[in-house]
Amino acid sequence: MRSRERLLFAIGICLALACPAVYAQNEPSAAPSPEPRRMVTLNVRVTDSHNHAVADVSQDAFSVTEDGVAQKILYFSKEVVPLSYGLLIDNSGSLRSQLSGVIQTGAAIVNSNKEHDETFIIRLISINKFITVLDFTSNKRLLMEGLASLYVEGGQTALIDALYLSVDKLAKRQTADKLQRLTLILITDGEERSSFYKPEQLFKVLAHNDIQIYAVGFTGELKDGKKKRAVELLTRLATDTGGRVFFPRSPADLGHVANEIISDIRTQYLIGYVPSGDGPKGSFHKVKVSIANNPENEKRIAITRVGYSAYGKY
């Protein structure tokens, strides 16, 4: 049974177990059946003490809590699933000296695409100027040509706006009938300039969507106050979504960064559970995934999004 069919089958079984009244025949005098809870799915990365991705971890090594309450893992897979991801590349003047290395980084990531992966490329240039170089496509040749066409223009990037619109673009790509991992790869100096959307609006949208963000921040040329804010923003984007942040010191570091991103997005686990507790609609639920050390007692760390908010009842 393929991965998608297994997940759908698991969801059906979980709902039947969690809400048997939904599947029983209704008696004329019976109260309305409760709305079934949906399965929460988590994309989980596992790293060793050197921050390298770890493959071949078994389900029994993982444990999950939601709002501090242990949850029963009802679905587990370590199969590679198709990726839908965006490359958001800052083309403002601040990245002029890094552009060649940035293009090579994007090319290395695109070159790792599998048959059913799809990618879009957006240039971040200035306030209210974000150009879609390519919409979702699986055509590597077009993606490589799109990357090669990038060039620097003067401008001050409205970073939050670009991320907000890109998250919305990815979220609309999610469908219920197939498994896929949604990812944004952001390459920027991290400086925010006069966005219409506020950071908390962006993080609220991210809490409703399981989208991992990998941020590559060239913050070295920013002044102290601006650098601090940029580092904090990029770090939170990665931490909250279960992604990762990199702060390369020079374009020479980008080859290593590309390899780490490729390894991370390809070596992940999908864990599903039906929440055991109730909460108000739209409330935020804190999630934690823990993992036991391996038999040789080597340290392992499980990384996923910090939590989620459901628009409706789960």
What pLDDT band is residue 279 in, cutting at 50, 70 and 90? low
What pLDDT band is residue 16 in, cutting at 50, 70 and 90? very low
Question: If one looks up domain 83-266 in CATH, what number appears?
Answer: 3.40.50.410
User: pLDDT at position 24, please?
Assistant: 36
| Residues whose CB falls within 8 Å of the CB of residue 102, separated by 6 or more in sequence, listed in order | 89, 95, 150, 187, 251, 254
The whole-chain average pLDDT of the chain stands at 85
**Rounded CA gap, 135 and 173, in Å?**
12
User: pLDDT at position 274, please?
Assistant: 95
Q: Does pLDDT of 307 surpass 90?
A: yes
What pLDDT band is residue 224 in, cutting at 50, 70 and 90? confident
List C-alpha distances in Å: 186 to 125, 135, 142, 203, 295. 13, 16, 20, 15, 36
Nearest to 243 by CA among 305, 300, 196: 305
User: pLDDT at position 56, please?
Assistant: 87
Question: For residue 64, which amino acid is it?
Answer: V
Q: Does pLDDT of 32 surpass 60?
A: no
Strands of the 83-90 sheet, one edge to the other: 129-137, 118-126, 83-90, 181-188, 211-217, 244-246
Q: Does pLDDT of 19 surpass 60?
A: no
**Rounded CA gap, 164 and 157, in Å?**
13
Of 86-95, 134-143, 277-286, the one with minimum mean pLDDT is: 277-286
Percent above pLDDT 70 for the chain: 84
Interval 228-259: pLDDT, tens: 999 999 999 999 999 999 999 888 899 999 99
Give the residue extent of every domain in the chain. Answer: 83-266
Cβ atoms within 10 Å of 259's Cβ, excluding its own: 14
Estimate the crossing angle of helix 199-208 against helix 159-171, to 10 degrees: 20
Reduced 3-state DSSP string for the chain? CCHHHHHHHHHHHHHHHHCHHHCCCCCCCCCCCCCCCCCEEEEEEEEECCCCECCCCCHHHEEEEECCEEECCCEEECCCCCEEEEEEEECCHHHHHHHHHHHHHHHHHHHCCCCCCEEEEEEEEECCEEEEEEEEECCHHHHHHHHHCCCCCCCCCCHHHHHHHHHHHHHCCCCCCCCCEEEEEEEECCCCCCCCCCHHHHHHHHHHCCEEEEEEECCCCCCHHHHHHHHHHHHHHHHHHCCEEECCCCHHHHHHHHHHHHHHHHCEEEEEECCCCCCCCCCEEEEEEEECCCCCCCCEEEECCCEEECCCCC
Please state the separation of Cα 239 from the chain's center in Å.
10
Cβ(246)–Cβ(238) under 8 Å?
A: no
* 160 token code pair: 């939050």
List C-alpha distances in Å: 197 to 129, 165, 254, 260. 14, 10, 30, 31
List C-alpha distances in Å: 139 to 83, 88, 134, 208. 14, 18, 10, 30
Of 5-14, 177-186, 224-233, 272-281, the one with minimum mean pLDDT is: 5-14
Of 99-113, 167-181, 296-310, the one with minimum mean pLDDT is: 167-181
User: pLDDT at position 313, please?
Assistant: 37
Q: Does pLDDT of 17 surpass 80?
A: no
Interval 56-102: pLDDT, tens: 899 999 999 999 999 999 999 998 889 999 999 998 877 788 889 89
User: pLDDT at position 241, please?
Assistant: 97
